[in-house]
Structure 1
Amino acid sequence: MQFCTQDVQWNDLDYMNESNDFTYDKEKFKNLPEFVEELHKLGMHYIPLIDPGVSGSEKPGTYPPYDEGLQMDIFVKNSTGLPFVGKVWNRVSTVWPDFTHPHTVDYWLRQLKRLHHEFPFDGAWIDMNEPSNFWSGSSTGCPDNNLEHPPYVPAGVDGGKLFYRTLCMSSTQYAGHHYDVHNLYGFTEAIVTSFALAEIREKRPFVISRSTFAGHGQYAGHWSGDISSSWYDMKKTIPQLLNFNLFGIPLMGADICGFNGNTTQALCQCWSQLGAFYPFSRNHNTDDGIPQDPVALGPAVVQSARKSLLVRYLLLPYLYTLFWKAHADGDTVVRPLFFEFPSDVHTYDIDEQFLWGSALMIVPVLEEGKTDVSAYLPNAVWYDFYTLAVVPASGVQHTLPAPLDTIPILLRGGSVIPTQTPNVTTTESRKNDFGLLVTLDEDCRATGSLYWDDGDSLNTYADRGYNLLNFTLAESQLTGSAVWWGYNDMPALDKVTILGVQKPVKSVFVNQASKPFSYHTINKFLKVENLQIHLHSTFSIHWI
C-alpha cells in the first residue's frame, strides 16, 4: 500500500484574524470554508485551535465575543469587580470567560455556533487554558494579599508566585476566587466546549485540551503541550501516556517529532513510529521550526510513518473496542505492563515499552542509531506481529530486531484481535471487511471482543445502538457470537489468522462446511480467507 493515512487537518491560531478567537483571516485564509468542504467530501475532518481568552480591546459593535461577554457579564473579574485584563495573543489585551458561570454555557455556544456557520469544523482544540497569560497577573500586577502571597507556595511554581504568567489569584469567578478554582479552568472549559459541540453538530463532540483535571476524560482528551524536539522528550511521552490513562484520560498523545526546536530525520522517523500508537496521534510543531511533516523530511520518514500508521489503521477495530471499554468500565487503553502482570516485580518500573489493552506490546526505538531494542517479556506466549511466529522468550529480557522502518510489536497469546483493512481515512476504513488475529496461549485458548456502532452518533451505548461480539477459541474451534445487536450496517468477517497452531492442518470447516486454507509450516499459523461471514449470527471455525 503506497498511500498515507490522514483523518484530520488541524489549524493553529494562524487562521484567525489578528489572533482573535471566533474569527478567520479572510485574506490569508479566504478559501477556508471551501477547503473545509473539500476535506468533508474526502471523508476527512477539520479542527481549529480555540483559545479561552478573547480580545478586550476591540471597538464596541465590531467583535461579538467581547460585546456579548460584557452584556452577559460572564468574564472573570478583578478584585474591583471589573473584567480582569491580561494579555495573550491578542493585539492589545485579553479577557477570559468564566466557565463556572452558568450563563457562559450559552455564551460559548453562541460563539462556536457563529464560527461553525462560517466553516463547519468538526472538533475543538482548546489551548492556553491553564489559563495562560503573557503577563503575571494584570498590566498592574496583582493586589498584595494572602491569596496572591499565601504562607506556603508549592515548590516548583514558576517565578515563585502563584500568579506567575496566569491570572491573579484574587480575581473572582462565579464559583469563588480564582485561587480556589484555578486548576478547574481548563476542565470547565472542556465541559462547556463539549456540550456546545454536541448541540451544534448533533454528533459526538471531539475536544483536545492542554489543561486537565480529575474527570476530564469524560469530556475531552489531552495533548502534552509544547515539548521539545529531542530524544529525551520523546522518551518521556511514554510515562505520560501511562499516567494519563491511569488518571482516566485515555485519549492522550504528544506532538509527534516534537514542538519546540528543529527535529531531525532520525528523531522524526522513530517518533513517527511511536506516535502511530499514541491514542491521540498528531504531528504538530512551532511555526518557527523547520517543516516536519514526513514528506518534508524525506522518503525514509515517509516510509516509517506510512508503515506504522497502516498498522494503526489495521488495528482500529481493536483500538475502538478498547475506548468503549474505557467509556463503559473506566478501563485503560494504553497500560503499563504491571497492569497485566501485577505479580511480576520486573514490570513495575518499565516505562519504555507499553501495552495496547491486554493483547499488544509496543517496544519503540528511543535512542539514535539503534536497530534493535531490549524488551522485557513477562511470562506469557508472545508472537512477532510481522512474522506471526512465536518469540522464543518469556519471563526474560529479550533483544528484538528494529530495522529503521519498523517498530517492534508483540502479540500476547490468548487474544482475539479484530482488524480491518486500512484505507486513507477512518471514514473509508470502517467500510472494509473485518479480520480476526487469533493468538493461542499455552493452553491453546484465546478470547476477545469487538464493539461497533456508527462511530459518530450521540448516546449510542446508552441507547443500545451498537453491536457487541465475543470470540472464544478452545479445542481447535473458534466461535463468535453477538452479545447485543443494535446496529445493522456492519461489514462482514472475511479473514481469520490463527497463530501458534503447532500441528499441520488437514481440513478447516466454517459452520461445518469445508473451506480452503493455508498453513505456514515454519511460523505455525493458519489462515482462512474469503469467508464473508455475517456477524449477527453465531459462527464457528474448526480445524483438524
Structure 2
Amino acid sequence: MKIRNIITSFRTRKPQRFTLSNSVSLEDCSNEATSDRHPGLKDSSLNNSFDISPRKHRPSVYKQFAPGAQKGSNSSRSSPATMSSIVLLVLAAVFLIVPLIYLVNRFDVVYEDRALKRNPIVQPFGVMQAQSVSTKPVEPSSEPIKLLPPPKPDYGQCKLLKDGDKFDCFPENGASLEGCEARGCCWIPAKTKPKKINNIPLDVPYCFYPPNHETYKIVNVTQTAFGLVAFLQRKYLSGYPQDVTDIQMVVKYETENRLHVKFTDPANNRFEPFFPEVPVVDRAAQNLNFVFELDMFKPGFKVVRKADNTTIFDSNSFLDFTFSNQFMQMSSRLPSEYIYGLGDHTSNLLLSTQWARFTLWNHDNPPWPNENLYGSHPFYLLMENSSRSHGVFLLNSNAMDILLQPTPAVTFRTIGGILDFYFFMGPSPRDVIAQYTELIGRPFMPPYWGLGFHLCRFGYKTLNETREVLDSNLKAGIPIDTQWNDLDYMNNSNDFTYDHIKYEGLPEFVAALHGIGMHYIPLVDPGVSAAEKPGTYPPYDVGINMGIFVKNSSGQPFIGKVWNAHSTVWPDFTNPDTVDYWTLMLRDFHKEVPFDGAWIDMNEPSNFLSGSFSGCPKSELESPPYVPAVDGGVLNYKTMCMTAKHYEGLHYDVHNLYGFTEAIITSFAMAVIRGARPMVISRSTFSGLGHYTGHWSGDVFSTWDGLKQSIPHLLSFSLFGIPLMGADICGFNGNTTVALCNRWQQLGAFYPFSRNHNTDDGIPQDPASMGDLVVASTKKALEVRYALLPYLYTLFFRAHVDGDTVARPLFFEFFSDKKTFGIDTQFLWGSAVMIVPVLEENATTVKAYFPAALWFDYYSKAQVTSAGEYVNVSAPLDTIPVFIRGGTILPRQAPLRTTTESRKTSIELLVAPDENGAALGELFWDDGDSLNTIEEKRYSLIDFKLENGILRGESLAWAQEYPPNLGSVTVLGLQQPISQVLVNGQSFTFKFDTVHKCLLIDNLNVSFEKPLAITWK
C-alpha cells in the first residue's frame, strides 16, 4: 500500500480504522504512469554511480514507441513461413514509407487534425490515436554519440544582441575568453564589472549565447492519445560533463487549462520527486485554452493563450537548452515583467527582472536578502499586460537557480533530476492558484482552535516561567488559544522527553489548559540523539533496530550534530518503516504529555556541521560542475553530505523533500494518535506541503524591515498553496522595542497563523511584558481577529475545497488595475477585508491604496468611495486600520478569551452593500476539530445574499454540527433613515445610526436551518 494512500486516508476514513500494522510501501510511488516515467539502468541523478534505489526496473520507454524492439524469450527462433511474411511486410513498408519520407523532407508535411498540411508547427490535436510524422522513433545508439565541439561564435551576430537579450553561457565562476568560445559562445565584456552575490556573478553576462546557437534538434515527433512525444538529439558539446545526447519530450494536454511538458533521458531512470503525487493523465483534454507550438526545424516550443494569442512561454528556440548529467537549463521569454513567486526568499512580492537570481535549496538560514532560505517552490505566477495571468511550475527537487533578466525572461537552472514543467492558463490569479493546488494538493483544513492566538518563546527555562508568562497575559485580557514550548522542555534537548525537574508537572499543566478550552504544542525536531547509553533512549534504540535512519555512503547511520549533547542521527522519512517508527515515538510521548499539535523545526534538514564529523567523501555529488548560489558555497553547508543515502534516493536528490516528508508523516501520526484534525507547523517547505501542514517564516529579525518583509513573505506563501502561515510576531532575532512590537502585534493579529515567539537571548516580548500600550493594541487587534474567525474559517474551507487563497494580494481581486500589481504593504483577507498596517516608526497615518470600490472603516463604519486612489488613513498608536469592501457579508461572533468560548456565542452578520445595494457572503460551520467533516458532509453551509433590499439566508448544507443562531445584523451605508424592519415577515425592533448611516437589528435568535428573509424600509 502506498504511503500516500495511508497518509491521506485519514481524510476519508475514521481514525479507528488505522493500525500501525498496515502495510506501507513507497516503492510504487511515482508521478507518471510507466509509459512516461523512463526507467533504465540506474535510479539516480548521476548515471553509472550510487545505484541505491529499491525500485524494480521497468522496460525502457523506447520499446513502447519502436515496433519490434521488445524481444520475447522465443524471438530468436522463427519458422521459414514467418520469415517470408516478414520479408514481404518489409518490402511493402519500403514502398510505402520511402515516398512518405520524401514528402516530409521535401514539403515539411506534418499531421494536424488527421490531415496533411504544409506547416512545420505542431499544435494540439485533441484526443486521437497515435500518429507519427516520421517512420518510427529514433532509438539511441548502443554506442554513445561522440559530440563535437561547437563552432566559434559569429561576432557579427553577437554584437546585434541587446544587453537584456543576452543569456549567460558561463554562469559559474571562472569565465574567460577561451572557456567561453569553447562553448561556442560570445565573449564581450560589459561596460561595468558584474556584481557578485554569494560570490557568483549576476548582471549582464560577459559570455552569452549567440543568436544562432545550436543545441538540440528534433528528430522525431509522435502524436499520442494524451498529446505528443518528441525525440531530440544534441549536436555539440555543452561545456558540462556527461551531456545527455538523446532527450525525450512528452507533452500532455492534461486539462483545458493545464499543459504538461516533460524532458527526460530515455536511456536512464533519473530521479523524479515522489511527492507531491501529481495526477496521471493518459488522454488529452478537450476544448483547450492554449496552443502548444513545436517547430520541427527550429528546436524550441511555445505555449500560446488562445483567447488573445499571447505567448506565455517561449523557450527561445532552445538557445541555451542544456541537459547534462548534473546541469540542466532552459530559458523563456516572458510576456510581461509582473512576476511573483519563486520562493523561499526575502524580497518584494513583485519580483525584480533586473538580473535577479533566486536560489532554491532548503537551508537553516535567517531571512537575509539574496540567500536561499527554508523552502523551495519553483513556481511563478505572471500577470500579463492584458490583465490575464498564468503560472509555471518546474517539478524538480534538486538544487537550482532561477534567473530573471530585463528581456524580460526567466532561466531555470538545476543540477539534477529532469525538467518537468506544468503550465496553468488561469486566466485570473485566483484561477491560477486553484489550478496549481489542484495539481500539488489543496490546502489542509486546520482545526478551528489553530486560528486563535498562540504564545511561545525559546527560553522558558522552567515550567513555572511558562505558566507565569501565560497567566500574566490571560490576566491582561489577551485572548490566547495555545501555549507552546521550544526545546527548553526537553531532557538534554532530546526528542520525546521532558525534563522532570525543570518541567515537573508538565502533563498536569497541559491537562489544566484543556480544562479551560486551551491547547498545547511542543517542538519536535527530526534529529535524534545518537550518544545515549544503550537501552536508555528508545527513539535511538528502536530506530537502529528498524534501520530507519539516514545512512552515509558506507551504509552506516549518518551522524551529525544539532541540539543533542554529543551527536545526532536523522530518521529517513522516505522509508515506509518510518511511518510506524515516528507514529510510535509520538504516541508514546503523547501518553505522557497529551499535546495537541506538533511544531517541526530544523527539518531542512539543519546540521551544525557541514556533513559529518569527518566531513564528506570526495564525490561529484559533493562538488558538482555547477553549484547554485547557495549560502556557504557548497551544497552540504550546515546539512548532510550529498552522498548520504535515503530509501528513495541520494540526499543530493531528496534534500529539499526532507521536511516535506516529515510533515506528511507527522500529520498522519497526529491524526491517528488524537483521532482529530492535525495541527502541524513546519519550517521547511516544498511544493505541496500546504496539503498537510502550515508554516512560519523562521528566524526573522526584530526590525522595522523585518515587519515590512513579513507581508510579501505571507502573500508569496498564499501563492504556494500554504495559507496557514505567519511570521514570529515582534520578530525572533534580536531585541524588539515597544514601538515595533506594538505595530507588529497589530499586523500579526491578521496573519492566518498568529504566534508571538522569540529567541532565548532576547528580551521578553509577550504582550503583557511590553507594557500598557502593547497590551491595549494587542487586545484591540485580536478582538477584531476573533470576531472575524467565522469568516476566516470559511476562507480556509474555500481554500481546502476550491484552492482559493486566504490572505491575498490586492491584484488578486483587482487584476485590471495595474496600480495593485506592486502593492505589498497592505493585503486582503479573502475578497472582503483589507488590512492596512503601520510599517514605519512613530507614524500615526498610513498612505493606503483603495482600489475602485466602496469601502467601509471597520471601526467607525465611515464610508470611503474610491475610483482607485491613495488616501491618507488615520492610524492611532493602538489601532491598525481595517476596511470592509462593499458588496460583502461577513459572519462574526463575540470575541472571548478562547475560540472554545467564542464558538458558543450567536452569529452576527456585518453587511456592506456595494454601489448597487447588493452583497454576498457565506458561513461554513462544523465541529472545528474532527477528521473528514467535509468529505463526509458533516457540516453546514449558509449562503447570504442582499439584493433588491432583501437580505436572504439559505442553508446549502445542514448537518448535526450546525452553527449557533443568528443574533444580530448590522447593515452599513444606508443613505436614508429606516422606519420599519421585517424578519421573516414579522416586525422587529431596530436601531439606526444617523451619523454613520448603519442599521442594527439585534436579539434575533433565529435558526439558519430554515430560509431567512430580512427587509427594511
Tell me whether the two structures share a fold, i.e. TM-score over 0.5: yes
Shift of residue 504 of structure 1? 1.0
What is the total number of aligned residue pairs between the two structures? 543
Q: Name 1:77's counterpart in structure 2.
A: 551
Q: Name 2:931's counterpart in structure 1.
A: 458
Residue 888 of structure 2 aligns to which amino acid in structure 1?
A: S
Q: Name 1:177's counterpart in structure 2.
A: 650
Aligned pairs for 1:193-342 (under 5 A) are: 193-342=666-815
Indicate whether 1:496 and 2:973 are aligned. Answer: no
Shift of residue 523 of structure 1? 1.2
Separation in 2, partners of 1:490, 1:400: 36
Separation in 2, partners of 1:137, 1:537: 64
Aligned 8 A contact 2:938 2:961 in 1: no
Aligned 8 A contact 1:479 1:538 in 2: yes
Shift of residue 490 of structure 1? 2.5
Residue deviations 1:373-400 (CA, integer Å, cap 9, x gap): 0111000000000011202434100111
Q: Name 1:18's counterpart in structure 2.
A: 492
Aligned 8 A contact 1:237 1:254 in 2: yes
Bigger mean CA deviation after superposition, 188-197 or 513-522: 513-522
Structure 1: segments with no counterpart, 5+ residues: none
- Tell me the secondary structure at the aligned position of residue 234 of structure 1: helix
Residue 17 of structure 1 aligns to which amino acid in structure 2?
A: N
Q: Name 2:513's counterpart in structure 1.
A: 39
Indicate whether 1:152 and 2:626 are aligned. Answer: yes
Bigger mean CA deviation after superposition, 387-396 or 141-150: 387-396
Which of residues 563, 566, 586 in structure 2 aligns to 1:112? 586
Aligned 8 A contact 1:389 1:525 in 2: no
Q: Name 1:64's counterpart in structure 2.
A: 538
Residue 186 of structure 1 aligns to which amino acid in structure 2?
A: G
Separation in 1, partners of 2:476, 2:979: 36
Scaled by the length of structure 1, what TM-score is found?
0.99
Residue deviations 1:48-104 (CA, integer Å, cap 9, x gap): 000001001111100000000000000000000000000000000000000000000
Bigger mean CA deviation after superposition, 186-195 or 2-11: 2-11
Indicate whether 1:401 and 2:871 are aligned. Answer: no
Shift of residue 489 of structure 1? 4.4
Separation in 2, partners of 1:100, 1:532: 53
Q: Name 1:349's counterpart in structure 2.
A: 822
Q: Name 1:369's counterpart in structure 2.
A: 842
Residue deviations 1:191-248 (CA, integer Å, cap 9, x gap): 0000000000000000000001111001000000111100001100000110001100
Separation in 2, partners of 1:474, 1:245: 32
Separation in 2, partners of 1:436, 1:154: 52
Separation in 1, partners of 2:874, 2:963: 38
Separation in 1, partners of 2:839, 2:627: 36
Indicate whether 1:9 and 2:9 are aligned. Answer: no
Q: Name 2:943's counterpart in structure 1.
A: 470
Structure 2: segments with no counterpart, 5+ residues: 1-474
Separation in 1, partners of 2:705, 2:627: 29
Q: Name 2:991's counterpart in structure 1.
A: 518
Residue 297 of structure 1 aligns to which amino acid in structure 2?
A: M
- Tell me the secondary structure at the aligned position of residue 271 of structure 1: helix
Residue deviations 1:313-370 (CA, integer Å, cap 9, x gap): 0000000000000000111000000000000000000000000000000000000000
Separation in 2, partners of 1:65, 1:496: 55
Q: Name 2:411's counterpart in structure 1.
A: none
Indicate whether 1:92 and 2:566 are aligned. Answer: yes
Residue 440 of structure 1 aligns to which amino acid in structure 2?
A: P
Residue 72 of structure 1 aligns to which amino acid in structure 2?
A: M
Separation in 1, partners of 2:689, 2:553: 29
Shift of residue 163 of structure 1? 0.3
Residue deviations 1:506-527 (CA, integer Å, cap 9, x gap): 1000001001111111211111
Shift of residue 475 of structure 1? 1.3
Shift of residue 153 of structure 1? 1.0
Shift of residue 2 of structure 1? 7.0
Aligned 8 A contact 1:209 1:220 in 2: yes
Q: Name 2:900's counterpart in structure 1.
A: 427
Aligned 8 A contact 2:966 2:1004 in 1: yes
Residue 831 of structure 2 aligns to which amino acid in structure 1?
A: S
Q: Name 2:955's counterpart in structure 1.
A: 482
- Tell me the secondary structure at the aligned position of residue 866 of structure 2: coil
Bigger Rg, which one: 2
Residue 94 of structure 1 aligns to which amino acid in structure 2?
A: T
Scaled by the length of structure 2, what TM-score is found?
0.53
Percent identity of the aligned residues?
Answer: 63
Separation in 2, partners of 1:360, 1:492: 24
Aligned pairs for 1:533-544 (under 5 A) are: 533-544=1006-1017
Q: Name 1:28's counterpart in structure 2.
A: 502
Bigger mean CA deviation after superposition, 421-430 or 481-490: 481-490
Separation in 1, partners of 2:767, 2:478: 10
Separation in 1, partners of 2:779, 2:628: 45
Separation in 1, partners of 2:936, 2:866: 46
Separation in 2, partners of 1:150, 1:496: 64
Separation in 1, partners of 2:832, 2:730: 27
Separation in 1, partners of 2:770, 2:963: 39
Shift of residue 3 of structure 1? 2.3
- Tell me the secondary structure at the aligned position of residue 391 of structure 1: strand
Which of residues 505, 514, 526 in structure 1 aligns to 2:978? 505
Indicate whether 1:122 and 2:596 are aligned. Answer: yes
Residue deviations 1:237-288 (CA, integer Å, cap 9, x gap): 0001100011000000010000011000000000000000000000000111
Indicate whether 1:167 and 2:629 are aligned. Answer: no
